[in-house]
């Protein structure tokens, strides 16, 4: 489905991003994977190896580093067909009044400004290939989440940004979509689980919020991502696609478990 496509994937060394990288490679793509974590890159290199993958150490919140990553990708592969903005953070687990300026700014700089940076740096390449952009959002951007005010706000921004970008870039043949998981077992979610006040019931909670009855691994999201960036989704743009096992039909509170 993705033969000869070059994908610029941020946050592709662990969690959902790593599962997407695996799925993209299986589908025939070549990858430029951006991460700001050297250890994470080393671990991913042991899983994803070969000439089809380029790893770049860069911080998506810093435009100059993203711009250089785009240049490096073009030098290696000659083009970019897809930008997948997957890099994101969820901490801290706090209500708005408990969130300090540094925490607020860090969340927005990574989760939202990261998309701003990759789009500014990579748009000219996407115009050449009539490519597409995929943003990793979250169901909380639509329905909110307790003690995650800043994180939910960033994902709500991603939803609105996705739709606005879809309108702005449609004249160039560029599609822009977003994927919106609910709970997905990733290293970030496991860390989040341990930090919650009711950590002893989190496993049951995460299973029960999904109508299908379980919290999935990242591969279910990766499969949907392959579809959205492929030609099979060629007439889909501005879509916020839930991959959530029906969680959007109604989250259950801890007390309901």
Active-site amino acid positions: 151
**DSSP one-letter string for 222-248:** HHHHHHHHSGGGTT--S-EEEESTTGG
Long-range contacts of 155-160 (CB under 8 A, 24+ apart): 155/111, 155/180, 157/108, 157/111, 157/112, 158/111, 158/112, 158/115, 159/240
How many helices (H) and strands (E) the chain has is answered by 10, 7
The CA distance from 14 to 100, in Å, is 27
Two structure tokens written together for 164? 């606005």
Q: Which of 227, 228, 148 is nearest to 188 (CA)?
A: 148
Closest CA to 189 of 214, 208, 206, 211: 206
Contacts of 192 (CB under 8 A, 6+ apart): 90, 91, 93
Total Cβ atoms within 10 A of residue 223: 14
- Mark 187-199 as b/e (b = at least 16 C-beta within 10 Å): ebbeebbeeeeee
Token pair, residue 225, equals: 């991502």
């Amino acid at each position: 489905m993705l033969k000869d496509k070059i994908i610029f994937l941020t946050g592709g060394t662990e969690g959902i991003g790593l599962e997407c990288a695996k799925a993209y490679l299986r589908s025939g793509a070549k990858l430029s994977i951006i991460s700001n974590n050297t250890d994470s890159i080393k671990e991913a290199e042991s899983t994803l190896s070969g000439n089809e993958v380029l790893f770049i150490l860069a911080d998506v919140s810093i435009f100059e580093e993203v711009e250089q990553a785009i240049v490096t990708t073009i030098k290696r592969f000659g083009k970019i067909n897809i930008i997948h903005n997957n890099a994101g953070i969820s901490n801290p687990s706090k209500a708005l009044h408990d969130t300090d300026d540094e925490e607020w700014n860090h969340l927005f700089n990574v989760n939202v400004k990261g998309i701003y940076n990759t789009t500014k740096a990579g748009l000219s390449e996407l115009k050449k290939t009539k490519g597409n952009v995929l943003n990793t959002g979250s169901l909380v951007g639509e329905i909110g989440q307790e003690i995650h005010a800043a994180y939910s706000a960033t994902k709500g921004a991603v939803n609105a940004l996705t739709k606005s970008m879809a309108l702005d870039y449609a004249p160039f043949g560029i599609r822009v979509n977003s994927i919106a998981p609910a709970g997905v077992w990733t290293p970030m979610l496991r860390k989040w689980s341990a930090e919650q006040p009711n950590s002893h019931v989190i496993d049951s909670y995460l299973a029960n919020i999904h109508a299908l009855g379980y919290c999935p691994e990242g591969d279910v999201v990766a499969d949907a991502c392959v579809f959205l960036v492929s030609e099979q989704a060629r007439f889909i743009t501005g879509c916020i696609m839930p991959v959530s096992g029906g969680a959007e039909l109604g989250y259950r509170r801890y007390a309901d478990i």
